[in-house]
Amino acid sequence: MGTGAKPAVPASVMVVGGAGFLGSHLVDRILAEGIRVAVVDDLSSGHLGNLADARSRSTPGSLGIDTVDAGIPEFGELVRRRAPDVVVMCAAFLGDHDDALAAGRSYSLVLSVLEACRRAKVAKVVVLVPGESLYGDVPSRELPVKEDRALRPVGMAGVTAAATLELLDLYRRDHGLDFTALAVSSVYGPRQRADGGVVAEFLTAHREGRPPVVRGDGRRTLDVLYVADAVDAVFRALTRGSGLLLHVSSGEQTSLRTVLQAIGIETVVTEPASGRVLGRMALSPSRARLHLGWAPWTTVSEGIESTVTSPG
The answer, yes or no, to whether residue 155 has pLDDT greater than 90, is: no
Residues in the chain: 312
| pLDDT at site 3 | 45
pTM for the whole structure: 0.94
Q: Which fold has domain 12-309?
A: Rossmann fold (3.40.50)
CA distances from residue 214 to 7, 59, 80, 186, 263 in whole angstroms, order as listed:
45, 45, 46, 16, 14
Segment 34-74, tens digit of pLDDT: 999 999 999 999 999 999 999 999 999 999 999 999 999 99
| Cα 58 to Cα 34: distance, rounded to the nearest angstrom | 9
| pLDDT at site 5 | 54
The answer, yes or no, to whether residue 235 has pLDDT greater than 50, is: yes
| pLDDT at site 11 | 96
Segment 82-130, tens digit of pLDDT: 999 999 999 767 554 567 888 888 899 999 999 999 999 999 999 999 9
Average pLDDT score over residue span 135-147:
94
